[in-house]
């Protein structure tokens, strides 16, 4: 089974993801990413290859990041340890320091017992599959073993957070003066840096989920648990609520009435704003096949093309890089603004969303009216043969439902990449129709693809 998943290496800390694995993975990464032309040029100038490492505040990140640092330094890599910092902050710092690569220790929105290792190439970009496969092959190969003065040094990256904050503030088209925001930091990597940044941008800030103790990350707070954020926004009379996940690469929002504004709605708002300001390259937004039909309708009305990709922010990034597009993302709140970052950035997204509120003088509820969210029903049909999702009878049933929905709905069938299940998603103009068609297709999938 491949070591790397859709977003790095992830698993139960000290079980699947051990200190030994973290050290070996760092040593293999040093071989693959620390030996390129940039590293050779550094050595010719009397400098070693460099890497930036960071982590979220879950307790296992302490020993895992220490193992990563040890593996890199023992391979002759100079390490700049940024400590607790959001994943997009780490990606930015890799580029800002002109480092050869970076390593982030985080399991994102997963619970505290889990952890993960994400690797960023030069420039702060995620690795393509082929490079991850090379690193995996080098896990059991001979490692670099310099001695004496050739081993790497480990230094504290003292101004890492300050550099990231300055970068975020410089990206803003409009300050946030006069706006009151509730920030939910998920007891994660944003707990220190997000409140400071939004205050520096001019906002009045109320904070929840900003007391990480190593074990409470994502526990009842953050972008996967919006109930407390919604209640707090209403209780304190704030204009908006912004929720991050554990490593702060996501942003979801709630309006002044506590209603959720998801990633699709945020992208629609930002796309329209960027189009108006001439910043939406090729009038194109990149989104996954799971984005709501309402997003497509809203963008079509404004002459904006929506380019679709497979599910996963890495596929959104690939399409953005290939086409040179400036905005893309997922319904889950991974929003990528390529003019300012190489990965989803929850702080950047929240800042720019509020900047549009300040620029237009509109409430978030008014801005969110740009798109109508179509009811979306998702049914996971378990214990079926996912390899036969293209079965003729199943596909005929899909075509029949699509014909009945016409332009008022959409059907999507996806085989799970890891489990014996097929996901049936139906969008329709009303909840009852979406539920009825989804159940109808789920029954056919269950019958036709039974194991």
Cβ pair 18, 26 in contact under 8 A: no
- Point out which residues pair with 156 in neighbouring strands: 81
Residue 249 assigned as binding residue: yes
Residue 273 assigned as binding residue: no
- Point out which residues pair with 306 in neighbouring strands: 285
Cβ pair 35, 82 in contact under 8 A: no
Core vs surface per residue 142-161: b (16+ CB within 10 A) or e: ebbeeeeeebbebeebeebb
β-strands 78-84, 101-105 pairing: unpaired
CA distance 337 to 35: 30
Coil/strand/helix, residue 238: coil
Other residues' Cβ atoms within 10 Å of the Cβ of residue 288: 22
Nearest Cα residue to 298 out of 373, 366, 406, 352: 373
Residue 323's alpha-carbon distances to 91, 284, 320, 356, 422, in angstroms, are 21, 9, 5, 25, 31
Nearest Cα residue to 269 out of 335, 195, 188, 221: 335
Provide the terminal-to-terminal Cα distance of the chain, rounded to the nearest Å: 22
Residue 108 assigned as binding residue: yes
CA distance 336 to 322: 14
∠ CA 204-333-280, rounded to 5°: 90
Q: List, by residue number, the catalytic residues.
A: 108
Residues in CB range of 179: below 8 A, 6 or more apart: 202, 203, 204, 239, 240, 354, 357, 358
Structure tokens at 226: 């919006």
Other residues' Cβ atoms within 10 Å of the Cβ of residue 325: 21
Residues contributing to the annotated binding site for Mg(2+) = 108, 245, 247, 249
Residues contributing to the annotated binding site = 108, 245, 247, 249
């Amino acid at each position: 089974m491949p070591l790397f998943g859709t977003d790095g290496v992830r698993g139960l800390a000290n079980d699947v993801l051990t200190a030994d694995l973290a050290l070996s993975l760092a040593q293999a990464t040093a071989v693959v990413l620390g030996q390129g032309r940039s590293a050779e040029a550094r050595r010719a100038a009397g400098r070693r290859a460099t890497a930036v490492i960071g982590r979220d505040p879950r307790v296992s990140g302490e020993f895992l990041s220490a193992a990563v640092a040890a593996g890199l330094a023992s391979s002759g890599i100079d390490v700049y340890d940024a400590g607790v910092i959001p994943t997009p902050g780490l990606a930015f710092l890799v580029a800002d320091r002109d480092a050869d690569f970076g390593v982030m220790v985080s399991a994102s929105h997963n619970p505290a017992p889990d952890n993960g290792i994400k690797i960023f190439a030069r420039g702060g970009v995620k690795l393509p599959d082929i490079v991850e496969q090379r690193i995996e092959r080098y896990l059991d190969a001979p490692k670099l073993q310099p001695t004496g003065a050739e081993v790497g040094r480990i230094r504290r990256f003292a101004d890492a957070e300050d550099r990231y904050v300055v970068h975020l503030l410089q990206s803003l088209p409009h300050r946030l003066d006069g706006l009151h925001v509730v920030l939910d930091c998920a007891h994660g990597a944003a707990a220190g840096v997000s409140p400071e940044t939004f205050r520096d941008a001019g906002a009045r800030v109320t904070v929840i989920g900003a007391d990480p103790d190593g074990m409470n990350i994502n526990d009842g707070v953050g972008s996967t648990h919006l109930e407390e954020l919604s209640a707090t926004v209403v209780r304190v009379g704030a204009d908006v609520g912004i929720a991050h996940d554990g490593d702060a690469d996501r942003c979801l929002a709630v309006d002044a009435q506590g209603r959720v504004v998801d990633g699709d709605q945020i992208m629609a708002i930002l796309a329209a704003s960027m189009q108006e300001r001439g910043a939406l390259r090729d009038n194109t937004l990149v989104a996954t096949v799971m984005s709501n039909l309402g997003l497509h309708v809203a963008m079509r009305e404004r002459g904006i093309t929506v380019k679709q990709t497979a599910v996963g922010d890495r596929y959104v990034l690939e399409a953005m890089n290939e086409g040179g597009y400036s905005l893309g993302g997922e319904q889950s709140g991974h929003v990528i603004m390529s003019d300012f970052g190489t990965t989803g950035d929850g702080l950047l997204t929240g800042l720019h969303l509020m900047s549009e509120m300040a620029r237009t003088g509109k409430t978030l509820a008014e801005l969110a009216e740009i798109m109508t969210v179509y009811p979306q029903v998702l049914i996971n049909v378990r214990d079926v043969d996912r390899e036969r999702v293209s079965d003729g009878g199943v596909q005929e049933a899909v075509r029949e439902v699509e014909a009945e929905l016409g332009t008022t709905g959409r059907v999507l069938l996806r085989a799970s990449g890891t489990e014996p299940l097929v996901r049936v998603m139906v969008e329709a103009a009303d909840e009852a129709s979406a539920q009825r068609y989804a159940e109808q297709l789920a029954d056919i999938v269950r019958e036709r693809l039974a194991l």
